[in-house]
C-alpha cells in the first residue's frame, strides 16, 4: 500500500466519522421507555422497527427487541440460572420498549 492510498483511506475514514457522528460528543443519547399495546398481526420485531424509526433509535433492531424482552419480562429462568426468552405476544398485551434517542 502506498502512502497516497493510505492517506486517502484515512481521510475517508475521518469523513465517515464526521458524517455519522461516531467521534462527536455532541450526539448524546438518553434512554426512554415506550409502552406499546400489541394489535393483531404485530410482531416484536415489527413493533421495534416502527418505534426505532419513529423515535430515531439507530441501534441494531435485535438489541432493541432484546431490551424490550427484558423490560417486558418476556423470559423465564430455570433452576440452573439459565435465562430463556420468549417472543410470543398476544393482542392486548402491553410491551415496554427501551429506546436510545438524542437528547
51-85: per-residue pLDDT in tens? Answer: 999 999 999 999 999 999 999 999 999 999 999 99
Q: What is the pLDDT of residue 91?
A: 98
Percentages helix, strand, coil for the chain (3-state, rounded to 5) are: 40, 25, 35
pTM score above 0.75: no
Using one digit for the tens of pLDDT, what is the confidence trace for 3-16?
455 455 445 555 44
CB 77 within 8 A of CB 83: yes
Residues in contact with 53: Cβ distance below 8 Å, sequence separation at least 6, in sequence order: none
Rounded Cα gap, residues 33 and 50, in angstroms? 15
Rounded Cα gap, residues 96 and 98, in angstroms? 7
Amino acid at each position: 500500500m502506498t502512502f497516497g492510498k493510505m492517506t486517502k483511506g484515512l481521510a475517508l475514514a475521518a469523513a465517515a466519522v464526521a458524517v455519522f457522528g461516531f467521534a462527536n460528543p455532541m450526539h448524546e443519547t438518553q434512554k426512554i421507555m415506550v409502552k406499546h399495546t400489541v394489535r393483531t398481526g404485530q410482531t416484536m420485531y415489527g413493533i421495534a422497527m416502527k418505534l426505532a424509526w419513529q423515535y430515531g433509535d439507530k441501534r441494531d433492531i435485535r438489541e432493541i427487541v432484546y431490551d424490550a424482552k427484558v423490560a417486558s419480562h418476556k423470559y423465564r429462568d430455570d433452576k440452573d440460572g439459565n435465562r430463556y426468552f420468549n417472543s410470543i405476544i398476544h393482542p392486548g398485551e402491553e410491551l415496554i420498549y427501551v429506546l436510545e434517542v438524542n437528547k
